[in-house]
Structure 1
Amino acid sequence: MLTLQIPSIAISFALLFAVYKFILHPALLSPLANIPNAHWSSPFSELWILWVRYKKRENRTVHAAHQALGPVVRLGPKELSINDVEGLRTVYSGGFEKGEWYSIFDNYGVPCMFSSWYSRPHSARKRMISNIYSKSVVQSSLALQVQSHKILYRRLLPIISTSTSGPEGIDVLSVFHAVTMDFVTAYLFGFQFSSNFLQNEEERKHWLDLYHSRKTHTFFSQELPRFTKFFKGLGVYFVPRWVDAANAELEHWTKEKTDRTTAFLTKRDVENPADEATVFKALMSGVDKESRTKGLDSVLAQETLKFPVLSMASEMIDHLAAGHETSGITLTYLAWHLSQDLELQNRLRAELLTLSPTFNFEPGQEKHELPSSKDLDALPLLHAILMETLRLDAAIPGNQPRMTPFPSCKISGYEIPSGVRVGAQAYSLHRNEGAFPEPLKWDVGRWLDESNGYSKAQRRERERWFWAFSSGGRMCVGSNFAMHQIKLVVAALYTNFRTYIVDDEGIEQEDGYTCGPRGNKLILRFEKAEVGSE
């Protein structure tokens, strides 16, 4: 009889253990049990938040949870979302590490600076290139100045000038992705090896189609990487096979530019400033120095120094992908907002015409000069327009997760154990009503002086909550470059043209990590602004 009872007792104990481990402990005894749950199932399962992400509703769903429950909410058994300045300071300025979620940003099978899980290898890579992305270097770079002149006056402005002859308008999302790609690849590889997407529309369309289409299939590889890999080994593909082919083609395109730039830099000195491969040269020099001075003792020995060619190429594809997409999205929404307000366009143009020289463009004219980068950066209305666009239409509004350290930490008053995924999203931070009254309104006055009804204290508070480039040691390394190239493009366009909406269907922003218009287009009509008019 006892022998017959043993299986029943074992099953009972197994059931009790399961109830304790998966229900009682996470709901009542876990250190996370005191944190409000975004969904009733959050303490027990990841299925709810995974479903929200799969359906591309994370940003607004999590934001609604914060509005109802406060600055810290529980999304899953071991996942939190935070939405306060104190929490940001703890997590992002406190050195919390990244995790497996970022491995999708590896290229060629090796990590780049952005996808590196840990801060030490990240810092070692960052030291190689952070200087050339500093504000002072970006604004004083002769190479960037010459590259900017060529891109604006030989490519962008002539293309826009020819578009003013008809009422049909042009897709500015495509044009803005093109101009930002041309900018960033020139700064990476030098002008001779950069893209020319502005003038080569066929290549641009093919490249952007590849990039955009494979972006729609990131969920399984990012949120369930081991699950996806296991079933892929069994011949079950949750991610279409053509996604791998698209990624391979994009990697080949970048690797070819990397190889040509390497060969050029190792054989001769750069004579034309436009051909200066500013970023790649700094990275190549940094990798060489790390290899010579530290070798096997380097924190990069098993990654960057073991696969130097692929590691440098991985870094380049990350910079050009992130650099063209985020700036292109920002320019699109900025132009969309301006196209709804002719009076604001006139005010902006009046401010731009105070520059000396101006960005005035005349087709066929041989000589055009760029104004001082510092003078451009000091224009208050231009800066306010850009800041408000980055706030309301952040190109990366989604969650940026980190992992809590061992053995535990305190976040916004809660004691959190190690190994918990915790993150913030610009989407929610930028809609804080205390920092941004009427947060859904695009209001450039927020970033101007007290004459617009905002005090200096209010402006400081807004700047504390502004998070378009993240924060801490792992914030966007290219933020100064992004701000500079966007201001150059906006100044060049609105000095010479006015814009009007032709078709903005689908302009509402996607929901996810990096987010552009749902319709993947914006059609604007350009009209030549008369010289001296405002």
Structure 2
Amino acid sequence: MAILSALSADISNAPLAVLITYLVPAALIWYATVVVYRLYFHPLSHIPGPLAARATHLYCFYHNVIRGGKFYLKVEQMHKKYGPVVRITPSEVHLSDPGNYDKINFVGTPYVKDPAFYHRFGNDHSSFSTISNEEHRIKRAALGTFFSQKRVLELEDIVQAKAQKLEDRMRSELDTSGRINLHHGFRAISVDVITDYAFDDCYDFLSQGDFGRPFFNMIRGTGTAIWFFQQFPFVQPIALAAPFWLVKIMSAPIARVMTLNRSCSNHISKVKKAVDAGEEMQPSRRTIFHQLLKPGFIKGYTVPTVEQLTDEAIGLVAAASDTTGNAMTIATYNTVINPEIYKRVNAELKEAFPDANAKLDLTTLEKLPYLNAVIKEGLRLSYGVVGRLPRIVPPSGAGFNGYTIPGGATVGMSSWMMHRNKDIFPEPDKFDPSRWLDPTTSKSMEKYLVFFGKGTRQCVGMPLAYSELRVTLGRIFRHFDNLTTERKSLEDLMYDDYFSPFHAEGKNKFIFSVKT
């Protein structure tokens, strides 16, 4: 019996023994071979960079997931050590020379978005995640009609109403508690505007006591899932196909991605139901998706499916949730802590609008040099997207700063390094609106202000974002001349990169009060 028991045990353990004896060493040999190839035989092996970054994508994963969105800072350190062209992953090169930006990002560029990066956002049908430049052109043509300068002027009343609502909240809370945290308040304006305009179903975060904080925390949480999916792409379709109750148990970030998807899908389905029922809206209130769901919207237009428009909606809401609001936060904070800047922008607005009760119309606000200089500095120091935006080099290859990059490789740049280049923006960490006042100098610097991107893939919502910035900041700086706030350190103002930049937990309060 003892012999039989021993034999039985040997048989049952055989698979484990095989795994240990053969498969594990084979896997190690395979991976070692991959590393040797990447370091010495890969088409990018001649590009300098840290050994770990050249050998494995886990280096990027560690700094973005384990360290919490810090890879962009590590990339900056790489450039200081290795120069303007650095290999930051086995398949990706990063550039720091601002002169290279227009070589990649121009209208008609042959560079396309990197599918390995952009497909991890989970909205492949959106114009944002579309890889083909030709396909993107068609989608952008449809969307662009809703974000043209003309259309934005027609929608000014929506923006004015949201800005008025925030102003009323500020007055109420400053009168009662003497303080207000505007970190989420500024973001609430952008989301309320886009959901009103896109669905005719405003989220109305400006009426909520916390300005919709759970929603913004959800958006932040999706960033972790995006970085995880980029490292382990095979997990993405499995995770997103799993039951929601299971996902909530297994992964909070992935659950947040699914929650956003569900919310946008419900909105699109609601709009489609109204369109199918023949419900007509007033011309002034025809929303983005009411129009996109109608046949013949533009010549040759094919009505997308609910799934496709859900992806587009996700992109619009996510984009509105942080970038413009963050720029408002940075502009307001830096203006308030600098008395001379605050006094000057307030004086300019009072001269333009001597009647405190007059409407601060967008056409006039666009012409105020100092207000717009403040806005540009807010954009510069909030970056839009703080990390790299990877593109695929066309088949012909490309040359950057003496290095040849083969076709099919990935190359990217970041606004973080562009906006902090000392040769273009002296004292780059200083909030200095006066740098934008000389027309010649301003025109030269604007080439390197890439908050909205440039070229073919420039943010389609830029005119609407500028409208929100001018109207909201114009109201605040005209109607409040005695705000104060605590000064933060440069460390407190640093970002965590979850594609959009976020201030670290515990350091993301921007509390304003009034001088007594």
Q: Do these two structures clear the TM 0.5 threshold for a shared fold by scoring above it?
A: yes
Aligned position for 1:404: 393
The answer as to 2:214 corresponding to 1:206 is yes
Q: Could you list the runs of 5+ residues in structure 2 that have no partner in the other structure?
A: 1-26
The aligned counterpart of 1:3 is none
Structure 1 position 225 matched with structure 2 position 233: yes
Match of 1:509 among 478, 494, 501: 494
The residue aligned with 2:175 is 165
Deviation at 1:62, TM superposition (A): 1.0
The amino acid across from 2:328 in the alignment is L
| TM alignment of 1:8-47, pairs within 5 A | 22-23=35-36, 26-28=38-40, 30-37=42-49, 39-47=50-58
Confirm or deny: 8 A CA contact 1:87 1:411 kept in the other structure: yes
Q: Which of 82-91 and 421-430 deviates more?
A: 82-91
Q: Determine which of 64, 86, 103 is the counterpart of 2:119.
A: 103
Identity, in percent, stands at 22
- CA displacement 1:119-153 (0-9 Å, x = unmatched): 12211111101132123332x21xx1221232233
Taking the aligned partners of 2:389 and 2:281, their CA distance within structure 1 comes to 39
- Residue in 2 that maps onto 1:477: 460
Shift, 1:251, TM fit: 2.7
The answer to whether the aligner puts 1:500 opposite 2:487 as a matched pair is no
Q: Judging changes above 3 Å, is the alpha-carbon distance between structure 1 residues 229 and 371 closer, same or farther for their aligned structure 2 residues?
A: closer
Residue 213 of structure 1: SS of its match in structure 2?
A: helix
Query: Pick from 265, 269, 289: which aligns with 1:280?
Result: 289
1:374 is matched with: 363
Amino acid at match of 1:174: H
Check if 1:90 corresponds to 2:103: yes
User: TM-score when scaled to structure 1?
Assistant: 0.80
Where does residue 259 of structure 1 map in the other structure?
269
Q: 1:169-248 maps to which residues of 2 (within 5 A)?
A: 169-190=179-200, 193-201=201-209, 204-226=212-234, 240-248=250-258
What is the Cα deviation at residue 329 of structure 1? 1.2
- What residue in structure 1 maps to residue 90 of structure 2? 77
Q: Partners in 2 of 1:227 and 1:118 — Cα distance?
A: 24
Q: Give the Å deviation of 1:388.
A: 1.1
- Looking at structure 2, the residues matched to 181 and 231 of structure 1 have their Cα atoms a distance apart, in angstroms, of 27
Shift of 1:474: 0.9
Q: Which runs of 5+ in 1 are unaligned?
A: 1-13, 296-303, 362-368, 451-455, 530-534
Q: Quote the offset at 1:522 in angstroms.
A: 2.2
Q: CA deviation at 1:103?
A: 1.6
Larger mean CA deviation between 228-237 and 464-473 belongs to 228-237
Q: RMSD over aligned Cα, in angstroms?
A: 3.4
In the TM superposition, residue 238 of structure 1 has moved relative to its aligned partner by 13
How far did residue 232 of structure 1 move? 9.9
* Per-residue Cα deviation, 1:256-308 (whole angstroms, up to 9, x for no partner): 332333444553433383x331x2244334x6557x9476xxxxxxxx74xx1
- Give the aligned residue type for 1:477: V
Contact kept in structure 1, 2:361 and 2:471, CA below 8 Å: no
3-state SS of 2:159 partner: helix
How far does residue 400 in structure 1 lie from its aligned partner after superposition?
0.7
Counterpart in the other structure of 1:6: none
Instruction: Tell me the equivalent position of 1:445.
Output: 434
Q: What does 1:251-400 align with in structure 2 at a 5 Å threshold?
A: 251-265=261-275, 267-271=278-282, 273=284, 275-277=285-287, 279-285=288-294, 288-289=296-297, 293=300, 305=304, 308-356=305-353, 360-361=356-357, 370-400=359-389
Alpha-carbon spacing, 1:233–1:356, altered in 2? closer, same or farther (3 Å) = closer
State the TM-score, normalizing by the size of structure 2.
0.82
3-state DSSP of counterpart to 1:371: coil
- 1:196-243, Cα deviation, whole Å (9 max, x unpaired): 111133682332333333434432113331266679999999994333
Matches within 5 A, 1:39-78: 39-54=50-65, 55=67, 56-78=69-91
Aligned to 1:163, the other structure's residue is in SS state helix
The aligned residue for residue 301 of structure 1 is none
CA contact (8 A) 1:90 1:411 kept: no
Alpha-carbon offset, residue 315 of structure 1 = 0.9
- In the TM superposition, what is the alpha-carbon distance from 1:406 to its structure 2 partner? 2.4
Note if contact 1:129-1:282 (Cα within 8 Å) is conserved in structure 2: no
Residues 373 and 197 of structure 1: is their aligned pair in 2 closer, same or farther, counting only changes over 3 Å? same
In the alignment of these two chains, the number of paired residues is 478
Alpha-carbon offset, residue 20 of structure 1 = 8.1
Following superposition, the deviation at residue 173 of structure 1 comes to: 0.9
User: In structure 1, the residue corresponding to 2:389 is in which secondary structure?
Assistant: strand
Secondary structure of 2:404's partner? strand
Instruction: Give the AA of the match of 2:110.
Output: G
Q: CA deviation at 1:327?
A: 1.2
CA 1:27 to 1:246, structure 2 compared with 1: closer, same or farther past 3 Å?
Answer: closer
For residue 161 of structure 2, the aligned residue among 133, 142, 150 is 150
